[in-house]
Structure formats: C-alpha cells, structure tokens
Amino acid sequence: MSTQTMTNGVTTSSSNQANSPSWLEREKGFLLFLVSAFLLVGATSGTPHIAMWVGFAFAGYSAIANDSIQTLGTFIASNAQRPWWHQWLFMGAIFLATISYSWWAYSGDVSYQRLASKGFATAPTEFHFLQLSAPIFLLILTRFKMPVSTTFLLLSCFAASGKSIMAMTTKSLGGYGIAFIGSIVIWYAFGPLMKRAFKGKAHPAWRVAQWCSTGLLWSVWLMQDMANIAVFLPRSLSLIQVSVFGLFIFLGLGLLFYKRGERIQEVVTEKADVTDVRSATIIDLVYAVILYIFKIKSQVPMSTTWVFIGLLAGRQLAWSLRALGPCDRMTQIRAAGKMVGKDLAFVSIGFGISLLLASLINPVIGESLFN
C-alpha cells in the first residue's frame, strides 16, 4: 500500500510537470503579436503617411514600457496596494499637460526641441522597413527584461550624420558618470541616516511627497524622451495630430499601469529597498534633478536609461561599501558588482543593436561610425 502511495505521488508529480506549459505555449500570444507587427510594418513601409503613424504607435508603447523602470518603476513597486487606475489618471494628466505645453510653446513640437538639434531637425519623408521595425525589436528586448537605451535604439535610425550619434553618446556617458558618482556620494554619506529615519511605517506625508517627486520626474523625463516617439512624425503637429498622439499614449499608459509594469519591472524590484515609499521618493527626486540639469544644458537628445542605470548602480555600490565587517562588505560589493555589470551589459547590447540598425538603414551612418 505504501509503495503504491509513493508511486502515485511520483506519478502525480510527473503529470504536473508534463502539464506545465512550455515557453512556446506561454509566449504564443506575444509571438503571434510579433508576426502581425512585422507584417503590418512590411505592408505600410511604402506608404509614408500611414507608416509614420504605425512607427509612432509601436514606438509610443515600447519606449514607455522599457523606460518605465526609470520613471514609474519605483512608483509602481511602492504603490502596489493602490488601485492601478489612480496611478494612471495621475500620471496620464501630467503627460497630457507636459506635451500640451511643449506643443503650444514650440509651435507644434512635442519634443521640447530635442528634435530641433542637428541631425534630427528634418522629419522623414520615407521609411525603411528596419526603421519601423526598431520599436518592435525594443519590445522584444523589453520582454527579456533588458533595460536598453530607447534613445539610441530609436533615434539612431533617423540620424542624419554620425556626429549626431557621437554627440548623444558623449552626453549619455557623461550622464551615467555623474549619476554614478553622485549617487555613491549621496547614499554613502546619508545612507545610514536614511536607514535610521526610514524605520517603521512611513508617515502618510511621505506618500504625498512620493507622488509629487515621481510626477516631477515623469514630466522631466517626458521633456527628454518624447523625441524618441515623435521622431516618426512631422516636427510640427496639427491640433488633430497632437490629439491622436496624446490619446494613444494616454491609453497605452493605462495598459501599462493595469499590467503593473512590463516584465522589465523586475530590474527595479530586485534592487535594495526600492519598494519603501521614502526610498522611492529620494531616488525619484535625485534622478529628476540630474535629468533637469542635462535638459537645460543642451538640446542634444540623451539616453536617460544610462543615467538611471548609473544612479541605481552607484546607490547599490554605496550600500555595499557601508556593509558591516570586511567579509560582509566584500560579499556585498561582489554582489553589487555583478548586478551593476548585468545592467551595464544590457544597455551596451542595446547600444550595439541600435548602431547596427542605423548602419544597415543609412549607409552614411555606417561609414561615419565604422570608417
């Protein structure tokens, strides 16, 4: 009887394993979407007035979904208990206000003049298949939880010269370095104070402060990264065009909040202490200040992903340096180094893919970069 029971137990376990869905079954819906997306791109690439909206639609969701870890990641993680539609309406209203101001102040430009910089000022009049496919590749990378630079992946495909890409690269690397060093200084110096002050249940005022700091960050990020989405469209949008632009992204934000972020959200939640509303507030505020400084410095687009990865890397390393005891400290530093290296590898892969796409699409870019 006992043997029979054990046998049945093994059989049941084997049956459960056999009935668990395979990767192909789990991703069947996403793979069907990819096939449909590439077919749509192929069918519309020869019709510019339709293709620009197809490219915008894919770029609109893919860019925000991948970059959501930077601006909305800590917000989503620390507000997991709140209704998703509260977060959506709040951030959606900020989005509409931010692009509306740019559209009004800059004669129909929703990118805060990022696309007025040299190499991007002329709107495309025809589209290559790979240009329209770039946002789809971004969706694939997002599915694999890779925080890549949407600026490089999307804008590089439209750059008029290699110099414009070099200018973006220089500014982005500078942003990574400043964020990395700055966060080490801030969290090494004030980390212990934060740790003592952030014990126990957070005061309700912290929730208000977090929503304000994240709203500020979200607005500043939009000023930097709307260029990645608007690059497919005319540089000056009519009232009808900007209405379609705003409504589509507003609804896409709703989907993102409903899903509680894409799988890439794990890049944020695996970091130390980011789900605490007080830590999330400080992270968002520091990040917003850095982005705003770079916004007023020049109109050249930059990778906000590199800045964010540098910020989290420096913060994680600062916590490791503060670990008690030399053995604990070395263990923490090695773990932090591994995490930093993984994130940096992912954004570097995205950078390489963006340069490859730009070279395949535009021979001028290929010659400028590789010769």
pLDDT tens for residues 74-119?
788 778 788 999 999 999 999 999 999 999 999 999 999 999 888 8
Look at residues 285, 312, 265 and name the one whose alpha carbon lies nearest to residue 212: 285
pTM exceeds 0.85, yes or no: no
Rg, C-alpha atoms of the chain: 22
Are the C-beta atoms of 305 and 67 separated by less than 8 Å? yes
Provide the domain count of the chain.
1
pLDDT tens for the 371 residues of the chain, in order: 444 444 444 444 444 555 677 877 878 888 999 999 999 999 999 999 999 999 999 999 888 877 777 788 778 877 878 899 999 999 999 999 999 999 999 999 999 999 988 888 889 899 989 889 989 988 888 787 776 778 888 888 888 777 888 888 899 989 999 999 999 999 888 888 888 888 888 888 998 999 999 999 999 999 999 999 999 999 999 999 999 999 999 999 998 888 877 655 565 555 545 567 888 888 889 999 999 998 888 888 888 888 988 898 888 888 787 765 566 667 777 777 777 787 788 778 877 877 787 777 777 677 766 66
The 10s digit of each residue's pLDDT in 128-157 is: 898 899 899 888 887 877 767 788 888 888
Q: Does any domain span residue 2?
A: no
270 part of a folded domain? yes
* CA distance linking residue 44 with residue 32, whole number of Å: 18
CA angle 288, 284, 290 (to 5 degrees): 30
Tell me the CA distances in angstroms from 341 to 27, 207, 334, 366, one per residue in order. 28, 32, 10, 28
Cβ–Cβ < 8 Å for 354, 223: no
150 within domain boundaries: yes
Q: Does residue 282 fall inside a structural domain?
A: yes
Output DSSP code: residue 124.
Answer: P
**Domain housing 262:** 49-119+127-370
Cite the DSSP H helix spans in the chain.
Answer: 2-19, 23-26, 28-44, 48-71, 73-78, 84-105, 129-143, 150, 162-197, 204-230, 239-258, 266-269, 277-297, 304-321, 326-361, 363-370
Gap between the Cα atoms of 283 and 311, Å rounded: 8
Q: Does any domain span residue 114?
A: yes
In a domain, 289, yes or no: yes
For residue 278, tell me if it sits in a domain. Answer: yes
Cα distances (Å, whole numbers) of residue 280 to 95, 142, 196, 212, 325: 20, 22, 16, 11, 27
Distance between CA atoms of 215 and 362, rounded to whole angstroms? Answer: 37
Say if CB 354 and CB 347 are below 8 A apart. no
Q: Residue 327 domain-assigned?
A: yes
pLDDT at 76: 81
Predicted local confidence at residue 272, as pLDDT: 46
Give the C-alpha distances (Å, rounded to integers) separating 49 from 53, 55, 119, 128: 7, 11, 22, 13
**CB–CB of 301/151 below 8 Å?**
yes
